[in-house]
Amino acid sequence: MRIYNTLSGKKEEFVPLESGKVGMYACGVTVYDYCHIGHARSAIVFDVISRYLRYRGFDVKFVRNFTDIDDKIIRRAEEEGIAWDEVARKYTEEYYRDMDALGVARADVEPKATEHIPEIIAMVKTLLAKGYAYQVDGDVYFEVRRFPGYGKLSKRSMDEMMAGARVEVDERKRDPLDFALWKSSREGEPAWDSPWGPGRPGWHIECSAMSIKHLGETFDIHGGGADLIFPHHENEIAQSEASTGKPFVRYWIHNGFITVSREKMSKSLGNIFTIREILERFDPEVVRVFLLSTHYRSPVEYSEEQLLEAEVSVNRFYSTVMRIDGYLARMPDRERVTPEEAVLRELLGGFRTGFEEAMNDDFNTALALGQMFELLRELNRYLDSRPSGQGARGLVKEGVERLREAGRVLNIFQRSPRQWHLSLLKTKGIPLTEEEIERRIAERQEARKARDWQKADSIRDELLKRGIVLEDTREGTLWRVRVGTEA
RNA sequence: GGCGGCGUACCCAAGUGGUUAAGGGAGAGGUCUGCAAAACCUUUAUGCGCCGGUUCGAAUCCGGCCGCCGCCUCCA
């Protein structure tokens, strides 16, 4: 398995610290607002990585934190007129609502900064004792120049950073790039007792303290959005390695951004799409497929058109499963072998390997999805050739099972066609129940029996107008929700 | 200004030295169908931003140019 390591700037063979085990840490969110699609991407990327590592048999310990104390939270609390910890509690809940909907699994450990104050204080003490930090009034700063490797992740020298930086001059800092390990709190702000007076942790220190506590001083994978490379992860490396004297992380993984009109989606540009508003119009599985259709390190342009295309893709899977279910239910037992069988067998034989090769190559989900659609097409081709018997049944079932197995890693394709369509009815706000649709289909069947094509077609048109597409098959009339841009 | 990345068909997108450049969407034609829909088939890049170079051979490596983006400031 090869992973692109931001630290080395290339793909490297993945060798965990301890054979068969993987410790991984992903930077979570600061809980002060609703999550947007960019947070969703990061969460889904590391969700899939952890799922794939487990699929490959690794014993994975996955840690993803919540930053629940921070200046932004304090500011938000003032705006909303509620306590800071209430803000954190509220947006943690909202985070779970969005991420659960998107099928992002809980991490094994989900530590919060406020629950690790002793560990943070201990680390700051160590850094002071080792001479990597200094105290000014009630603040403690990390002295960047004391750490020789500073800049190795973001690949910049300190002089380069100084040249272009518009760093606010804080007279109390020995160097403008020094960053806060501990910040003194003003009257009324949340504060914890410390050897330096009442205060709160700086942003970067929590991730160092929590990852080391839960994964050890050196661990395998650390990740997050590409915008965390500098300064967040650079600072984490400095603090951690200065404090422990050991290498901090073996593989740094960073996901690319979501863009809108080719620009990075960000609060300051005001071009944010929240997960919530997207899920009002698209099924979560559609969002996952949309995001996983592009390699995790590449930028993804947010586009409703592309989401609609992803919707068509997902529908293609469920339509095929629906077709297979109907086909198998009425398939004769008489063995009928067709020439297409050989092609399907060959594709099926190499599918798992192909999927793993794609995922082994720096988690190439886009390629993996391509292979899944290739198999899907071959399954349809096979059915078109109208095979029958136990052999055919086994082959078709194996095909679906392979797709579902690969789908489990990406956490897509796990529902029944019925669940998919019922969910679409809800998402698209179609005020029809399954029973009502079935009743109309039965009425239409009567008309069709009587060869009253006009009436049959009018029922079909009426349903179509309401977003329901009917498909007459040998196995009866099936319904599905209209997807994509079809109108 | 410094550093990093990207540019593959109408759209999205995989591919980083060697069989016919994956896959999805859209369009066109066809098979099937009462008609549709779905599915399948054919079709849409002798070419991968442009110009050179290395090589028996390059989308893939090297150099230059053009265009776009990100980081250097909170940010997934």
The pLDDT of residue A166 is above 60: no
**Spatial CA neighbour of A115 closest among A196, A45, A210, A25:** A210
* Interval A93-151: pLDDT, tens: 999 999 999 999 999 999 999 999 999 999 999 999 999 999 999 999 999 999 999 99
Domains annotated for chain A, with CATH where assigned, are 2-255 (3.40.50.620), 314-416 (1.10.730.10), 419-481 (no CATH)
Q: Binning pLDDT at 50, 70 and 90, where does residue A159 land? A: confident
Mean pLDDT of all residues in A213-224: 97
The pLDDT of residue A351 is above 90: yes
Mean pLDDT value across chain A: 95
Which nucleotide is closest to A39, CA to C1'?
B76
- The label of the residue with tokens 């951004």 reads A257
* Interval A394-415: pLDDT, tens: 999 999 999 999 999 999 999 9
Q: Is the CB of A313 under 7 A from strand B?
A: yes
Q: Is the CB of A340 under 7 A from strand B?
A: no
Q: Which residues contact A131 (CB under 8 A, 6 or more apart)?
A: A146
What pLDDT, on the 0 to 100 scale, is given for residue A171? 77
Helix axis angle for A84-101 and A71-80, nearest 10°, is 100
* Interval A242-290: pLDDT, tens: 999 999 999 999 999 999 998 999 988 889 999 999 999 999 999 999 9
Residues 250-279 of A with CB under 7 A from strand B: 255-259, 262-268
Q: Which residues contact A197 (CB under 8 A, 6 or more apart)?
A: A138, A184
Residues 351-390 of A with CB under 7 A from strand B: 361, 364, 366-367, 369-371, 373-374, 376-377, 380-381, 383-384
Q: How far is CA A258 from CA A225, A227, A309, in A?
A: 10, 11, 17
Q: How far is CA A446 from CA A163, A454, A457, in A?
A: 80, 12, 12
List bases in chain B with any atom under 7 Å of a protein Cβ.
1-6, 11-16, 22-26, 33-41, 68-76
What pLDDT, on the 0 to 100 scale, is given for residue A165? 53
What pLDDT, on the 0 to 100 scale, is given for residue A139? 95
Q: Is the CB of A456 under 7 A from strand B?
A: yes
* Interval A285-308: pLDDT, tens: 999 999 999 999 999 999 999 999
Give dist(CA A251, CA A233) in Å, integer. Answer: 12
User: Which has the minimum average pLDDT: A152-156, A201-205, A426-430, A462-466?
Assistant: A152-156
The pLDDT of residue A168 is above 70: no
Mean pLDDT of all residues in A326-345: 94
Give dist(CA A69, CA A202) in Å, integer. Answer: 9
What pLDDT, on the 0 to 100 scale, is given for residue A270? 87
What pLDDT, on the 0 to 100 scale, is given for residue A360? 96
- Distance between the alpha carbon (CA) of A9 and the C1' atom of B63, Å: 22
Specify whether the CB–CB gap between A175 and A151 falls below 8 A: no
Determine the Cα angle at A36 with ends A35 and A37, to 5°: 130
Q: Is the CB of A167 under 7 A from strand B?
A: yes
